[in-house]
């Protein structure tokens, strides 16, 4: 994949060298977006600065890139025209970095002098409140501010907040609302099951499990990819398809042992509570991103950062574990999950534990 990307970029850069004004503005905006989504904000800014006419698409791409990596306000304030995407990206950036009150203030400003917010904007405000622990305030925001019937994404964000901050009674209410909106989504049942388990309602856990069986619903499979020597490798939880499985598992066991010595402890809430205790321990130990990281550490040079792409949101346990791995392995680790970039280095993450 990296080789293909380099070829594409080399073609675009040659076009730029020949005559920047001849390059379609859409291509340039796409280049800015590509660099931003890859976490390469330096090149994103270079491409952006070379644009003779900066479209709203390019501005939005810059804001989105910076908000995922912790910076955005300077770009936002520089815009002459701000559409709903720009406002939402800026609000989301505040939320991702723990600035809930600034997110709410910007939302109020948007309602006064900006475009009409959409459902994604509401999710951004809600997530900002939730990440800051303002769970009740977030729920009140849904009831008072969101027009019509809240979309599933809004209830999903609210449910994640309830689980994160252990507001279990409210979590059950939210989960039931979510199931009314999307009754066939297996992920919602999994979250409801975990909420019930945390509340000690094992009878309800069994009920949810039976409903999933009756509806033939299965949890979405998570996977992680890593590129080594121009070849992409894919890992899933407990994956043993790789020819070097024994070596990978042995190294991961050693790695996690060193993490435990450094203070790491597993987060059991990060896996299905309907599993038996031994199954939960196995599932946590061998999550796909941990396997991919172990493989990368085995195969890549000591100076190279480990880059992982995860198709789902990273669980709390993996996030906690990777912070320790970055210390014991003395390596920078970059994970792009469903929500954002995570830059792990020296035991810290760029998301400040808000994601």
pLDDT (average), residues 288-295: 97
**What dotted CATH number matches 82-220?**
1.25.40.10
The residues, any chain, with a CB within 8 Å of residue 103's CB and separated by 6 or more, are: 91, 92, 94, 95, 124, 125, 128, 129
293-324 pLDDT, tens digit each: 999 999 999 889 999 999 988 888 899 999 99
CA distance 21 to 53: 9
- pLDDT of 200 higher than 90: no
Q: Between 123 and 322, whose confidence is greater?
A: 322
For residue 169, the Cα-to-chain-centroid distance in whole angstroms is: 26
Give the number of C-alpha atoms closer than 13 A to the C-alpha of residue 154, restricted to the C-beta side: 22
pLDDT recorded at residue 60: 62
- pLDDT of 22 higher than 50: no
132-175 pLDDT, tens digit each: 788 888 898 888 888 778 888 788 878 878 877 888 889 889 98
Q: What is the DSSP string of 175-192?
A: HHHHHHH-TT-HHHHHHH
**Reported pTM:** 0.63
CA distance 328 to 261: 10
**The two structure tokens encoding residue 58:** 């390019």
Q: Between 343 and 282, whose confidence is greater?
A: 343
**The two structure tokens encoding residue 276:** 């038996």
Residue-wise burial string across 164-202, b where 16 or more C-beta atoms lie within 10 A, e elsewhere: bbebbebbbebbebbbebeeebebbbbbbbbbbbbeebe
Percent of the chain with pLDDT over 70: 76
CA distance 172 to 256: 34
**The two structure tokens encoding residue 95:** 């939320």
pLDDT (average), residues 98-105: 86
Mean pLDDT for all residues in the chain: 81
pLDDT (average), residues 27-44: 68
Confidence of residue 54 (pLDDT cuts 50, 70, 90): low
> What value does the CA radius of gyration of the chain take, rounded to a whole number of Å?
22
E-strand ranges in 99-218 read none
pLDDT recorded at residue 37: 65
- pLDDT of 219 higher than 80: no
Confidence of residue 351 (pLDDT cuts 50, 70, 90): confident
Domain ranges of the chain: 1-81, 82-220, 223-349
């Amino acid at each position: 994949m990296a080789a293909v990307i380099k070829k594409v970029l080399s073609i675009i850069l040659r076009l730029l060298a020949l005559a920047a004004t001849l390059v379609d503005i859409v291509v340039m905006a796409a280049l800015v977006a590509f660099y931003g989504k890859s976490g390469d904000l330096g090149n994103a800014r270079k491409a952006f600065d070379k644009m003779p006419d900066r479209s709203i698409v390019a501005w939005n791409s810059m804001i989105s890139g910076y908000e995922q990596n912790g910076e955005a306000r300077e770009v936002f304030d520089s815009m002459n025209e701000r559409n709903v995407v720009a406002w939402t990206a800026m609000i989301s950036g505040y939320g991702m970095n723990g600035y809930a009150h600034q997110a709410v203030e910007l939302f109020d400003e948007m309602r006064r002098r900006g475009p009409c917010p959409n459902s994604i904007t509401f999710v951004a405000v809600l997530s900002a409140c939730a990440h800051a622990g303002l769970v009740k305030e977030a729920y009140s925001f849904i009831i008072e501010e969101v027009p019509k019937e809240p979309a599933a994404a809004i209830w999903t964000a609210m449910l994640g907040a309830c689980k994160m901050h252990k507001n279990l009674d409210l979590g059950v209410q939210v989960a039931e609302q979510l199931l009314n909106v999307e009754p066939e989504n297996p992920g919602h049942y999994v979250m409801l099951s975990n909420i019930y388990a945390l509340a000690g309602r094992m009878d309800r856990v069994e009920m949810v499990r039976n409903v999933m069986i009756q509806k033939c619903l299965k949890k979405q499979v998570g996977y992680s990819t890593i590129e080594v020597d121009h070849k992409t490798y894919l890992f899933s939880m407990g994956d043993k398809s790789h020819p070097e499985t024994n070596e990978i598992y042995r190294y991961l066991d050693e790695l996690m042992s060193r993490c435990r010595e450094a203070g790491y402890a597993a987060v059991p809430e990060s896996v299905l509570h309907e599993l038996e205790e031994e199954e939960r321990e196995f599932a946590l130990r061998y999550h796909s991103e941990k396997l991919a990281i172990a493989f990368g550490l085995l195969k890549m040079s000591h100076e190279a950062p480990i880059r992982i792409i995860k198709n789902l949101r990273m669980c709390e346990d993996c996030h906690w574990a990777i912070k320790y791995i970055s210390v014991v392995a003395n390596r920078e680790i970059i994970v792009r999950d469903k929500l954002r970039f995570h830059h792990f280095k020296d035991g810290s993450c760029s998301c400040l534990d808000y994601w």
